[in-house]
Amino acid sequence: MDMDTNLCWFCERNSPTAGSELKKRLYRLIQPRNAVVVKQLKYSMMLVDIPRCPTCARLHAKGRRAFWWPLAMGGIIGLPGAVPGLIIGGGLGLLIGYTWQKRILKKNTIKPASDTSLEAHPLLAGFLADGWQLSKPT
């Protein structure tokens, strides 16, 4: 254990506090006992508390809102245009939301709470090596 473990992994500046943890679900596929049965994905799930400081918790929540708002608005605006309207409105909303969220996190120089980002988290590395995954098996 090094000293850095006392710092929030996302910003590497503040100390993590209780109640600000990022609750992350991990999944692990359970191998079917009998290969003859109908193929069905079975997995176990586990909830991991990732230590986080209140500032990062707030920024992650803000980033999530920045992501979903334009998407929802795009969907509403595109709704009268039926399917093509939804695709255009939703697509534009997705693009705006994605860019906006990225800007918030970049401006504050904190790591995002996305799966791609969390793959590098030392706390999760052991679980990932053990066969756990960050997204639901499909």
Which one among 22, 50, 53, 113 touches Zn ion, defined by CB under 5 A?
A: 53
Which one among 22, 56, 105, 113 touches Zn ion, defined by CB under 5 A?
A: 56
Instruction: Tell me the closest approach of the beta carbon of residue 16 to Zn ion, in angstroms.
Output: 7
By CB under 5 A, tell whether 11 contacts Zn ion: yes
SS3 state of residue 35: coil
Q: Which is nearer to Zn ion, 57 or 134 (CB)?
A: 57
Separation in Å, CA 54 to CA 3, 6, 17, 24, 60 = 20, 14, 7, 16, 10
By CB under 5 A, tell whether 10 contacts Zn ion: yes
Q: Give the angle subtended at the CA of 114 by the CAs of 79 and 23, to the nearest 5°.
A: 105
Instruction: Tell me the closest approach of the beta carbon of residue 52 to Zn ion, in angstroms.
Output: 6
Number of residues that bind Zn ion (CB under 5 A): 6
Instruction: Tell me the closest approach of the beta carbon of residue 38 to Zn ion, in angstroms.
Output: 46
**Could you tell me if 25 and 43 are in contact, meaning their C-beta atoms sit under 8 angstroms apart?**
no
> Helix count (H) and strand count (E) of the chain?
4, 2
Contacts with Zn ion by CB under 5 A lie at: 8, 10-11, 14, 53, 56
